[in-house]
């Protein structure tokens, strides 16, 4: 059953699920879809461009925008602040484009509270074991960081019930096809809400059976899955 497409698209997934690969490809193939560029207090990294990867601001500037009510959502991620400005969303919509927000579960919740017609999509791994293998094979993080990301994934999965659409990224091309058809045309994905929630709960059960994650790894309450982090 086809539905009309939404002007604001939220895509969320645990770290290592392939969200960034999917969203970058999505933007490249859907000309009327534009990334909402977040603001952050994180220092700019080599190769990054202000206004393309993020809008880089100092902490005082960021907090001033919070006080002025200019942010649609924001979070503290390991000491760095990240947020989505209402002006950025408005800018994209004024162009007649769909605004794509690649944010964490808490950010998604806050956006939907202010923009109830937003389309919220949760990308899931086929299994927790598969997610762990992806995190380790990336080779960009230490074992401690990989464990922290996996623990955070377990917390994020608990928020899956708050999303409208579920896509399992077991095969990249298939997952991308579903995502593109949903965002571009409003076409329903293969999983019903009930089926998606069932898989999400199965992942939670699998995660809860893991006994080798060290208890001393601090969680950040599901707020450490920002893009580029």
Q: What is the pTM of this model?
A: 0.87
Q: What is the pLDDT averaged over residues 164-179?
A: 97
Q: What span, in angstroms and rounded, lies between the C-alpha atoms of 158 and 201?
A: 8
Whether 100 contacts 35, CB under 8 Å? yes
Decide if pLDDT at 2 tops 80.
no
For a pLDDT cut of 70, what percent of the chain falls above it? 91
State the architecture of 8-36+98-208 in CATH terms: 3-Layer(aba) Sandwich (3.40)
Strands 80-85 and 71-77 turn out to be antiparallel
Q: What span, in angstroms and rounded, lies between the C-alpha atoms of 161 and 177?
A: 23
Q: Retrieve residue 224's tokens.
A: 């450490």
Q: What is the pLDDT averaged over residues 159-184?
A: 97
Tens digits of per-residue pLDDT, 138-154? Answer: 877 888 889 988 999 99
Helix (H, G, I), strand (E, B) or coil at 99: strand
Whether 102 contacts 123, CB under 8 Å? no
Domain ranges of the chain: 8-36+98-208
Tens digits of per-residue pLDDT, 11-69? Answer: 999 989 999 899 999 999 999 999 999 999 999 988 999 999 899 999 999 999 999 99
Tens digits of per-residue pLDDT, 66-94? Answer: 999 999 999 887 789 999 999 999 999 99
Q: What is the pLDDT averaged over residues 176-199?
A: 96
Decide if pLDDT at 216 tops 60.
no
CB atoms within 10 A of CB 161: 12
Decide if pLDDT at 155 tops 80.
yes
Q: Retrieve residue 131's tokens.
A: 């997610």
* Average pLDDT for the chain: 90
Q: How confident is the model at residue 4 (pLDDT cuts 50, 70, 90)?
A: low
């Amino acid at each position: 059953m086809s539905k009309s497409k939404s002007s604001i698209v939220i895509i969320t997934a645990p770290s290592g699920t392939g969200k960034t690969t999917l969203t970058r490809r999505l933007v490249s193939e859907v000309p009327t879809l534009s990334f909402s560029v977040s603001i952050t207090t994180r220092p700019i990294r080599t190769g990054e461009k202000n206004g393309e990867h993020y809008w880089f601001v100092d902490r005082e500037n960021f907090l001033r925008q919070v006080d002025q009510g200019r942010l649609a959502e924001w979070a503290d991620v390991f000491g760095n602040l990240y947020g989505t400005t209402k002006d950025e969303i408005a800018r994209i919509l004024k162009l007649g484009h769909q605004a794509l927000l690649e944010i964490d579960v808490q950010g998604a919740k806050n956006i939907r509270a202010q923009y109830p017609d937003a389309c919220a999509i949760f990308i899931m791994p086929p299994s927790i074991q598969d997610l762990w293998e992806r995190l380790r094979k990336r080779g960009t993080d230490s074992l401690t960081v990989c464990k922290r990301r996996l623990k955070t994934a377990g917390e994020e999965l608990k928020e899956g019930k708050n999303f409208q659409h579920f896509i399992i990224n077991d095969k990249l091309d298939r997952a991308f096809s579903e995502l593109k058809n949903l965002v571009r045309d409003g076409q329903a994905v293969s999983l019903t809400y009930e089926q998606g929630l069932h898989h999400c709960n199965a992942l939670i059960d699998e995660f809860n059976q893991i006994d080798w994650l060290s208890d001393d790894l601090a969680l950040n309450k599901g707020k450490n899955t920002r893009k580029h982090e």
